[in-house]
Amino acid sequence: MFRCQYAPRNIPKGVFLLPLTVLLIVVLLPFIRNLNHWSSKIYASSLEAKETRICNLFSGNWTPYPKEPYYSTETCPFRTDKQNCFMNGRPDREFLKWRWKPFQCELPPFDASQFLKLVMGKSMAFVGDSIGRNQAESLLCLINSVAHPKDITTKYTTKNDTFFRWWFSADYNFTVTMLWSPFLVKFIDADVNASSFYRATKLYLDEADRAWASKIENFDYVIFSTGQWFFRPLTFYENGEVVGCQRCEKNMTELNLYGYRRAFRTALRTVRNLKGFKGLALLVTHSPDHFENGMWNECGACDRTKPFTMEERQVYKNGDLLETLHQIQVEEFEAAEKEEGRGKGLQFGLLDITDPMAMRPDGHPGRYGKVVDKNVTINDCVHWCMPGPVDTLNEFLLYTIKLQAENGLLCLLGIGSSSVLCSYSTFRSLEMQLFNNDMSFFFFMSFHQLPHEALNSIPLNITFYLQLNTLSHQYYPVE
């Protein structure tokens, strides 16, 4: 009906952008006012973080520590009986009076409240053998005083076993699961009636175990921890064909670590290639045993009550093998890290526990070990007492997750961004963790959807603006 004959055609874009700019400034004004104070505070934090990054957290020594452990038998209902050393009769407590001290920095104590704030609304999977379960149970005990996790395994499986378990904290919407996969790759026990150590197990080294590979795609954290099962008789398959074996004849005693290397390679590549996984994948390096005077089936034991000294650690009888296992894991981790899917937000991390735990022959159940679900006593120099040195693994875990979050915030503020990874998943995480209010959602959504001209018209702190401008077009795409 109406013809707009006099509609202007060359009005500057700024006229249309001005109302939008004013609206943004009004909404963001409280945030902008506090930016200098906030960035100064974070900048100080960044200096500390940089010092810690330079420091090798896993190079240090165990030092005397007089305080009581994080939890007790009464406050930790999650551990399996074989890790409850005091219930099983262990009389000494001196092994609890030590704490890991890196040579060049401090490892903060485990803070359950801080950990739960970082993982709120997230999920964490421990994938591997009973050492991985040992760490998972330690974590549940560490957060129990705040989170009170509940066992929700029956929602996922009808089996009543210790191999696949799920726990959930309603207060923090945080899920922890244990996915049993001792080899990480597909395996078949050829002799199901033999005792576990003597089974001739088939390993399909180019096929990830679906027990975990089919379940982790939507997890935020996946922690691989295994290694103890690779010393038994094994037959290696690739492309459906036998390519080698280990101790496949009665008189064969040597180890063939080809399977060990290939299993970790396949697992890390599988994570990298999962299309939907945008989380943090952590590899926990080999956890050493401390049998002396023979192995578990040769009357070997671990009766020490103090950590190794540095001199004793140098002559640790399994030192050469342990170094080889550790080197294989680190090499495969570094190869996966170079090829990781940064474009989709996937990140890798290494919890390099081998050297710290090699110095703790006193931390095992020893002669007070038990077989799960059986009233049988064994010499257990593989697993770790709870409480005990295993809790240090979760101090490392908290530190790693905290550093990941801090790195994301430093990226956001444009502080030291060249030295940290500014990934899509990091900012998705920050959206929930660091702002946690309605304005933050508007802030993120509006900035990453605005056109370039609108961003250029906003008079923000230049460093902050430039970083946001970069994020809007490179690191935080619209899905």
Read off the DSSP letter of residue 69.
P
If residue 222 lies in a helix (H) or strand (E), which one and from where to where?
Answer: strand 221-225
- For the stretch 135-176, pLDDT in tens is 999 999 999 999 999 999 988 877 666 678 999 999 999 999
Catalytic residue among 383, 391, 417, 429: 383
Quick check: helix, strand or coil at residue 223? strand
Quick check: helix, strand or coil at residue 97? coil
Catalytic residue among 130, 138, 425, 429: 130
Q: Phi/psi zone of residue 173: left (φ > 0), alpha (ψ -120 to 50 degrees), beta? A: left
**What pTM was computed for the model?**
0.76
Q: How far is CA 418 from the centre of its chain?
A: 24
If residue 349 lies in a helix (H) or strand (E), which one and from where to where?
Answer: strand 347-351
The long-range contacts involving 308-317, CB below 8 angstroms and separated by at least 24 positions, are 308/358, 308/359, 308/360, 308/361, 310/61, 313/358, 313/359, 316/288, 316/358, 317/292
Q: Which residues partner with 366 through β-bridges?
A: 380
Q: Tell me the CA distances in angstroms from 316 to 240, 289, 454, one per residue in order.
A: 39, 11, 64
Distance CA 146, CA 149 (A): 9
Contacts of 283 (CB under 8 A, 6+ apart): 224, 264, 268, 329, 333, 348, 349, 350, 351
Q: Which amino acid is at 30?
A: P
Other C-beta atoms closer than 10 Å to the C-beta of 319 total 13
Distance CA 282, CA 128 (A): 12
* Tens of pLDDT, residue by residue, the chain (479 residues): 444 443 444 545 454 455 555 555 555 555 444 444 433 333 333 334 444 455 789 999 999 999 999 999 889 889 887 888 988 889 999 999 999 999 988 999 999 999 999 999 999 999 999 999 999 999 999 999 999 999 999 888 776 666 789 999 999 999 999 999 999 999 998 655 555 555 679 999 999 999 999 999 999 999 999 999 999 899 999 999 999 998 877 666 677 899 999 999 999 999 999 988 989 999 999 999 999 887 766 778 899 999 998 888 877 767 789 999 999 999 999 999 887 555 566 789 999 999 999 999 999 999 888 776 667 788 899 999 999 999 999 999 999 999 888 775 444 444 433 333 344 334 444 444 444 433 333 333 333 333 344 334 333 333 333 333 333 333 222 22
Distance CA 270, CA 252 (A): 32
Catalytic residue among 206, 289, 362, 380: 380
- DSSP labels, 121-189: T-EEEEEESHHHHHHHHHHHHHHHHHH--EE-GGGT-S--SSSEEEEEETTTTEEEEEEE-TTSEEEEE
Other C-beta atoms closer than 10 Å to the C-beta of 397 total 23
Q: Which amino acid is at 193?
A: N
Residue with the two structure tokens 């396949």: 266
If residue 201 lies in a helix (H) or strand (E), which one and from where to where?
Answer: strand 201-208
If residue 202 lies in a helix (H) or strand (E), which one and from where to where?
Answer: strand 201-208
130 is known as an active-site residue? yes
C-beta of residue 451 within 8 angstroms of C-beta of residue 21: no
What is the Rg, in whole angstroms, of the alpha carbon atoms belonging to the chain?
Answer: 26
Number of H-type helices and E-type strands within the chain: 14, 15
Q: Tell me the CA distances in angstroms from 239 to 114, 190, 236, 246, 260, one per residue in order.
A: 46, 19, 10, 18, 17
Q: Tell me the CA distances in angstroms from 77 to 71, 137, 340, one per residue in order.
A: 10, 9, 38
Residue with the two structure tokens 């999650």: 78
User: What is the pLDDT, as a whole number, of residue 17?
Assistant: 52
C-beta of residue 339 within 8 angstroms of C-beta of residue 347: no
Distance CA 302, CA 305 (A): 9
380 is known as an active-site residue? yes
- DSSP labels, 291-317: -BSS-GGGT-B----SPPPHHHHHT-T
- For the stretch 243-293, pLDDT in tens is 999 887 766 667 789 999 999 999 999 999 998 898 999 999 999 999 988
